[in-house]
Structure 1
Amino acid sequence: MKHRSAALLLAAVFSATMLGACSTEPVSGVSQSQSAIKLADRNWDNFNRAKIEKFLNTYGKNSPSYNPAKPPYAVFDWDNTMVFLDVEEATFIYQLENLRFAMTPEQMDKALRMEVPKTNFAKDYNNAAGQPVNIDLVVPDAVDSYRWIYNNYKGMKGQLSLADVKKNPHYANFTTKARYMYEAIGDTFDVSIAYPWVLYLFTGMNEQQVRQMVNETLEWQKTQPIEKVKWTSPASLLGKAGVVSVSWKNGLRLMPEMQDVFTAFREAGIDIWVCTASFVDVIKEISSNPNYGYNNPADRVIGMELERDANGIIQTEFRRGYVQTQQKGKTKAIERFLVSKYGYGPSFVAGDSEGDMNMMQDFADTKLVLIVNRLKGKDIATLSKQAVDSYRTPDAKILLQGRNDNTGEFVKSQAHIKFGATQGQILK
């Protein structure tokens, strides 16, 4: 799809700015004795804010038809929807930076290989010499370096401090090649392989250890600038895979607009659920800990699950009988845990990517959908176009909310501002 012109973008932003009056219109179903539920202005697109407010007052406790015994409920994706960037990915980086692993080298070998095909990674992940890389080449390198770390780091079986371990090339070799695998697997193979892969690195931990690590990750991320980071493995440890590099965006931020949404939905008597493709313990912590402003009960998270032993220790195995909560799996999980509980589907759904598409459109009961605009393609681009085409119309069901990747903040339009860019773009 061709990019919109700057003129069209400015027109859309101007229209959104001029729509402020929409938020002051009388809300259907709210009596004069009731106070209409409002969202703080912040950086919402005005039309989006007005539509969410109208939804809250039309279907929440201000509605004459509201039944507290059968309340409506909303389902939210988490990463890049409730926060800027991805909590699971940030936690993985924190694990690597601080060597927070509870595995032997043999367990690490199993986790890194888990269900990954032996075929070569996508060409973008060839090594520095231009040669293809696969799991059988890169895992031995990572595990050899992890074994050195395991035997020498005082947080495992050795005597060296973390600072001293970081001076050895084995540290950079392990951390870079592990992070490289995450990207290479994700861009080469199906999400059913890529999404669980990073979770297996929690092997040997319990829930409280994972949640504590999430807390430490969030405190660390607050100190980090929003920037692209690049790691390159040391040439002194070529191994089988050779020198590889990997880049990602750092600087996770909480989203005050979405914190407000959770508060407003609770005020309206609408139940809140999270359905995430991240590990359930990771999202339980950030969504429920009052330090982070979302205040959603930990048992209101549906996410990726791993097997645990009788003592609650996480195993290198996806939980039997559970679906992966991505794409169609999100719909299946909602049907299993929520539709069976309430007797109906979600009234409101929010997400940002292709993984959220199914839950956005599979339920006849859904009245409103919010997409955080990340200029994603495929089917989510089709829904995003619907949001653009129905913008400012009374019957708009799909909302597209803009974001600035340079600041980690919403913008007052539908436009997404890419990292490094100064102007926004509405559709991919």
Structure 2
Amino acid sequence: MSIESSCVRLDEGRWNPKNRELLEKLIEKYRNTNSYAVFDWDNTSIQGDTQQNLFIYQIENLKYKLNPEKFNEVIRKNIPTTDFDERFKNSKGGVLNLTKLANDIYKSYIFLYKNYISTKKISLKEIRNTEEFKDFRAKMHFLHNALPGNFSEELACLWEFYLLSGMTKDEAKNLAKEAIDTKLGEAIGDVIVESSRILTGEAGVVKGIYDNGLRIRSEMANLYHELKRNGIDVYVISASMQELIEVFATDKSYGYNLDEDKIYAMRLRTTIDDVLIDEFNEDYAFTQKEGKSETIERFIRDKYEGKGPILVGGDALGDESMLTKFRDTEVILIMKREGKLDNLVNDKRALIQYRNFKTGLLDPKNY
């Protein structure tokens, strides 16, 4: 049956035409065959990093449920106190480490907690103009960047997640909704913030840089709808937090309309009252790298007679394992980013879909 006469029809959108054609053929081949597809979320299903943008939003709006003592504990948890490497020095070339940065962050947080977070003594606009806020913001971003650069991506992930501890799952979801809505409306691209030149503290003056903003990828949402409409289940496996991805992937205001029980992401342990605590939930895999493949093996493939996914989509090293692990995978969709997954470009199963870095939109050209 030709694609023209079949019931499979992806929106033209900004797909590379060849990629769209091959995806339509794949859906036609496997429609109603008890098959499934698996996708990453950040920079694959959407443009941007959902977890990082929540981290940014928390800082900008001081959305924390931690008293100063607990906050001080969380920002140091499991992080080595050894000096950072040459890339992470202050403006005068001074060597930095966790202790210097955390001491300054903690001192600023005490002020922010007493004057805004717990009391709202002054307005958010006023608190943002304080030297304490400026120092807190820049040093949080600097430390956030230093963790994967000096230690590991895994440690950096958990550090971000622990900042949500103290919230109930519903509170975390409400915060996620606020953050996503806000960041969808902001410009995308790098933002640089400098710490206070007055409250220099132990770490001195530093600059923090972060990649701001989110965008919905309508082509990916349409792909998911078409897969589901043709009896092919769609799963998301993400290295962001479960509550966050559940909101973005299932809330109808964003248009992806995926099923909550098919979202697998990072999870923290909770109290009996559903309050998140600063401990990873080891009942689930750590959904980065091999942990993504482990999730498919432990929780998904047995529902499909032991078969692997027919289609896997990803954008970075954290997705490589699930992109290449399963012999049943007929197509791997690579949402290409500069310097990422170059080793898979020549895989005979690979569809390479480029994007416009400035706009976040897909690029139909084949470079």
SS at 1:366's partner residue? coil
Amino acid of the residue matched to residue 345 of structure 2? S
Unaligned runs of 5+ in 2: none
Partner of 1:407: 359
How far residue 158 of structure 1 moved from its aligned partner, in angstroms, is 5.2
SS of equivalent to 2:87: helix
What's the CA shift for 1:252?
A: 1.1
| Distance (Å, rounded) in 2 between the aligned partners of 1:164 and 1:227 | 26
Which residue of 86, 92, 102 maps to 2:65?
102
Contact 1:354/1:376 (8 A) holds in 2: no
- CA distance in structure 2 between the aligned counterparts of 1:321 and 1:264, rounded to whole angstroms: 32
Equivalent positions of 1:254-403 (< 5 A) are 254-342=216-304, 343-377=306-340, 380-386=341-347, 396-403=348-355
CA distance in structure 2 between the partners assigned to 1:160 and 1:118 by the alignment: 35
Contact 1:118 1:134 (8 Å CA) reproduced: yes
Residues 229 and 248, structure 1, Cα contact 8 Å, conserved in 2: yes
Structure 2 CA distance, aligned partners of 1:247 and 1:385? 33
The CA deviation string for residues 307-364 of structure 1, in whole angstroms up to 9 with x for no partner, is 1100010101111333210001111111111123332211110000000000011111
Deviation at 1:132, TM superposition (A): 1.8
State the Cα distance separating 1:268 from its structure 2 match. Answer: 1.2
Within a 5 Å distance, the mapping from 1:2-151 to structure 2 comes to 26-27=2-3, 35-61=6-32, 66=33, 71-151=34-114
Q: Which runs of 5+ in 1 are unaligned?
A: 1-24, 387-395, 416-428
Q: Percent identity?
A: 32
Say whether 1:209 aligns with 2:180. Answer: no
1:252-287 deviations in Å (ceiling 9; x for gaps): 110011011111111111001100000010000000
Scaled by the length of structure 1, what TM-score is found? 0.83
Evaluate the alpha carbon distance shift between residue 77 and residue 103 of structure 1 in structure 2; reply closer, same or farther with a 3 A threshold.
Answer: same
Partners of 2:189 and 2:282 in 1: how far apart?
38
Q: What's the TM-score once normalised by structure 2's chain length?
A: 0.96
Query: Which residue of structure 1 aligns with residue 202 of structure 2?
Result: 240
Hey, what's the Cα distance between the residues in 1 that align with 2:228 and 2:64?
A: 37
Match of 1:218 in 2: 180
Higher relative contact order structure (alpha carbons within 8 Å, sequence separation ≥ 6): 2
Residue type matched to 2:29 in 1?
Answer: T
In 1, distance between residues paired with 2:180 and 2:187?
13
Q: Aligned to 1:235, what secondary structure does the other structure show?
A: coil
Aligned partners of 1:243, 1:414: CA distance in 2, in Å? 44
Superposed CA offset, 1:168-204 (max 9, x none) = 1111111211121111112221222122111110010
Q: Is the 8 A contact 1:373 1:414 kept in 2?
A: no
Aligned to 1:14: none
The C-alpha deviation readout for 1:117-172, integer Å capped at 9, x for no partner, is 2222232221111112111110111011001111111x414522212211211111
Q: Which amino acid aligns with 2:343?
A: T
Aligned to 1:392: none
Amino acid in the other structure paired with 1:55: L
Q: Distance in 1 between matches of 2:125 and 2:154?
A: 36
2:85 and 2:150 in contact (8 A); partners too: yes
CA distance in structure 1 between the partners assigned to 2:301 and 2:124 by the alignment: 48
